[in-house]
Structure 1
Amino acid sequence: MTRRVVERLAPEHVRVETELSMPLGAGFGASGAGALSSAYAINEAFSLALTADGVGEAAHGAEVASGTGLGDVIAQNVGGLVVRLSAGAPGVGSVDRIPVPPLRIDCIVRGPLSTEEVLSDPSVMRGVNREGERALKELLRRPTLDRFVSLSWEFARRSGLARDWMEDAVEAVEASGGMASMVMLGDAVFAVGGAEALAEFGDVISAKVCLGGAGLE
């Protein structure tokens, strides 16, 4: 997918190196992040004068064409706890944010889950779309962090995406006072609080919510 961004934006041959600190194929949006960071770097290196939305649109288009995702890029470009209000690339789709501090998020990963396979399966997508619309309506009635996590877990179960082992992991985190749900789309669980309980199910990866979104350093 990064290659698609390079082919679209770079006016000449360029070498791109990406350093990834999260597992691939586990639902962390690595493909979208790689495309978006490359688009920002190429825009700067070649003085293309694209706005943040323009950079994001190029990365979003590459992700959709590659079948690796539909909504990661716009969320990554904005940062924070993003709520999608309408579909589309940055500058086209609309989002809002639930105000949160830079929360620590703990995750465990059991293995990869092919986003492309899920997105290309009509029967799975019917359930995803139906339950996604329901969950979004419920979230917008009370847009809080607690409601976001609980509706996320409802969506994972009702859509059929959740794996059997996740039920035990989520229950263990909740019993310890935390909140947890499935990482979309990955054979993985994320938690807010309850890291010790989560560690019983695998090696814990920790990160923080970035409130500023993508950019250059």
Structure 2
Amino acid sequence: MVDRAVAFCPGHISGYFRRVKGTSVQTTGSIGAGIVISAGVEATATPADRPQVLVREVDRTGTCRTVLTASPPIAYVMDRLGVAAAVTTVCTLPIGAGFGLSAAALLSATAALNALYDLGLSAHEVTALAHEAEIVHQTGLGDVSACQGGGLVCREGPGPDGTIGRICGPAAQPLCAVTFGPLPTPAVLQSGPAMAAVEAAFPARCPDDLVDFFGLSRQFAERSGLITPEVRHALSLCDDAGVPASMTMLGNGVFASGDRALEVLSTAGEPYHLEIASGGFSVLEHAS
């Protein structure tokens, strides 16, 4: 055992998805496409007599914006591993805004715990446990599977073992996003009518490239019935400027691509500059 372990996991913006109910937790999740983004969650784990979790959301200057003193999914992971630790997660993007931060927090925390106590879990086992925690607590469906690696991702099967295609490499166009507050994921996932609309809106194919991804994502957003008034306004601004854009799933926000994306979204809110991640979660530090 070491005295401290730090891990990082990138976030994920889902463009479109369809829920899949499998025969087990590992075969339950979703299929669809999204972008793994370089911003995400860093988790630090240190030994403790009892499980403790601190969730910190910081702003662009590094000032703490939100602090939560509990995370049932991360506590669940510690219980499943049979360990106790003090885990602190830090993110610079807003929580609950469709950036896949619950998955990123679970993956980074699980990886840090694995390193802290030298548990010997493989990357696949870390992913499987994080996916299990997310499904059990209904904080997401497919972000964990996507964040195993980087790039533009298409998940053709549910869970960590599902078929996943990735288009990696630098984005041809700049990416940015703006958020208008949280859209509670559990509330949507537990709504029968909302999930029925999502099912009907799902485009049944993988995108060919980033341009195609935005087109399929926007088609899904329009047909899903999830677009909020704030999102509609931002999308209209993008449409008027000829900027490819869609709604972050599931989040009350918009992500866009192109040279004018940052300029246009700046008129709707304070945008975040994003990059496509080249890889998935990793351990940054484990030392005595």
- Do 1:104 and 1:209's aligned partners in 2 also have CA atoms closer than 8 Å? no
Any stretches of 5+ residues in structure 1 without a counterpart? none
Tell me what 2:78 maps to: 6
Return the letter of the residue paired with 1:173. Answer: C
Cα distance per residue 1:11-52 (max 9 Å; x no partner):
432110111111111111111111100111111111121111
Runs of 4+ more than 3 Å apart: 174-177
Q: 1:99: how far off?
A: 3.7
Report which of the two has the higher share of strand: 2
Aligned counterparts of 1:159 and 1:176: Cα–Cα separation in 2: 24
Q: 1:168: how far off?
A: 3.3
Return the letter of the residue paired with 1:216. Answer: V
Report which of the two has the higher share of helix: 1
- Within the alignment, does 1:48 sit opposite 2:116 as a pair? no
Q: TM-score, normalised by structure 2?
A: 0.69
Spell out the pairing of 1:46-195 with structure 2 (5 A cutoff).
46-88=117-159, 90=160, 92-102=161-171, 104-132=174-202, 135-137=203-205, 140=206, 143-193=208-258, 194-195=261-262
Tell me what 2:9 maps to: none
Q: TM-score, normalised by structure 1?
A: 0.90
Q: Percent identity?
A: 37
Q: 1:162 to 1:100 in 2, by over 3 A?
A: farther
Q: 1:53: how far off?
A: 1.1
Alignment RMSD, CA only? 1.6
Aligned counterparts of 1:178 and 1:52: Cα–Cα separation in 2: 38
Q: 1:98: how far off?
A: 2.6
Range with bigger deviation, 142-151 or 61-70: 142-151
Paired residue secondary structure (1:49): coil
Count of aligned pairs between the two proteins: 209
Q: 1:41 to 1:156 in 2, by over 3 A?
A: same
Any stretches of 5+ residues in structure 2 without a counterpart? 1-72
Paired residue secondary structure (1:16): strand
Return the letter of the residue paired with 2:238. Answer: V
Q: 1:216: how far off?
A: 1.4
